């Protein structure tokens, strides 16, 4: 384990949760001094070159609280959110990769926590990332397609998504998943952006596309409902509680906002206030 220096950001991780401190400007990563090097710690740098140390932690030190990263992602600064995504992603892999994928023997974690080594068959194992695609699909009337997955809570609808299969490009995967899940053929497929999604190990790749026809035929297995939404219809559905928008901070929310416009933030904020009620109690 590499000794951290005084500028290293420590991220305390417990599965898909992190420890936070509630500051005057909102939640922040818990500001903890770097602990002594132990097994399971992961060191790295974020895109800006800032060092981080991800440390497994079962306890909740005084002045901190545990929160699922997916629930607070939009409340963290972009820099802290990026570090937290990396920390949780690595730790999801550390917990799930204790044995060699080739021979099944215990695999030793390297000193920096970012790979494992099997002494029995000399296999080095690196973190696995599953590429997934998410589609912002509009029709000739500029309506947005939203779908409800079978595993989603009632009312939750998001842009369609799926995993890239071996031997296909991300663009091919986007077109295939859309056709398989909701029966819609698409053209004009354009890359929009990406987001790490370590729940447990995905990299989401977003595409904008145009539907050749508005006809929808859901597969009934992965997708149980899908609809076209105008901006007015989406606004009404969210306000009356008929539709739960994608989680703030997610790529899905970014795609909906990209289509809806800047007023989407106000729309979802009002919906959250409505759900809580005047006294803030659900």
Question: What's the whole-number mean pLDDT along residues 21-47?
Answer: 87
Helix and strand numbers, DSSP H then E, in the chain: 6, 15
CATH value at residue 215: 3.90.79.10
Poorest-pLDDT segment among 50-54, 128-132, 158-162, 177-181: 50-54
If one counts the domains in the chain, the total is 2
- 191 within a domain of the structure (yes/no): yes
| pLDDT beyond 60 at 254 | yes
> Model confidence at 31, in pLDDT bands (50, 70, 90)?
confident
Final residue belonging to a domain, choices 70, 96, 122: 96
Determine the Cα–Cα distance for residues 89 and 101; give it in Å rounded to an integer: 19
Q: Hey, is 265 helix, strand or coil?
A: helix
State the residue range of the domain holding 204.
130-275
Integer Cα distance of 107 and 115 in angstroms: 9
Beta-carbon-side half-sphere exposure of residue 158 (alpha carbons within 13 Å): 24
The residue among 96, 117, 147 that closes a domain is: 96
Question: Residue 147: is its pLDDT beyond 50?
Answer: yes
- Is residue 105 one of the residues assigned to a domain? no
CA distances from 210 to 90, 91, 213, 259, 270 (A): 36, 38, 9, 12, 30
pLDDT above 90 covers a percentage of the chain that reads 71
Confidence at residue 270, expressed as pLDDT on a 0 to 100 scale: 60
**Residue 280, domain member (yes or no):** no
How many residues are recorded in the chain? 282
* pTM for this entry: 0.86
């Amino acid at each position: 384990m590499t000794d951290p220096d005084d500028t290293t950001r420590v991220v305390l991780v417990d599965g898909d949760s992190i420890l936070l401190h509630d500051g005057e400007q909102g939640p922040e990563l818990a500001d903890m001094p770097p602990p002594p090097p132990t097994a399971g710690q992961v060191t790295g740098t974020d895109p800006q070159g800032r060092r981080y140390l991800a440390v497994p932690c079962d306890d909740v030190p005084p002045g901190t609280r545990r929160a699922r990263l997916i629930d607070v992602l939009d409340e963290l600064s972009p820099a802290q959110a990026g570090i937290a995504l990396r920390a949780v992603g690595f730790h999801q892999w550390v917990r799930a990769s204790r044995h060699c994928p080739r021979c099944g023997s215990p695999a030793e974690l390297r000193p920096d926590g970012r790979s494992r080594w099997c002494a029995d068959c000399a296999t080095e194992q690196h973190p696995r990332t599953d590429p997934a695609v998410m589609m912002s699909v509009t029709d000739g009337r500029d309506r947005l397609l939203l779908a409800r997955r079978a595993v989603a809570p009632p009312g939750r609808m998001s842009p369609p998504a799926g995993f890239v299969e071996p031997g296909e490009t991300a663009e091919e995967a986007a077109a295939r998943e859309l056709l398989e899940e909701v029966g819609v053929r698409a053209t004009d497929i354009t890359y929009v952006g990406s987001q790490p999604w370590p729940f447990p190990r995905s990299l989401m790749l977003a595409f904008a596309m145009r539907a050749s026809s508005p006809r929808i035929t859901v597969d009934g297995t992965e997708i149980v409902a899908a609809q076209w939404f105008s901006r007015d219809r989406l606004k009404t559905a969210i306000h009356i509680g008929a539709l739960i928008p994608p989680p703030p901070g997610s790529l899905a929310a970014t795609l909906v906002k990209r289509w809806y416009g800047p007023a989407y933030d106000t729309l979802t904020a009002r919906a959250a206030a409505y759900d809580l009620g005047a006294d803030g109690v659900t």
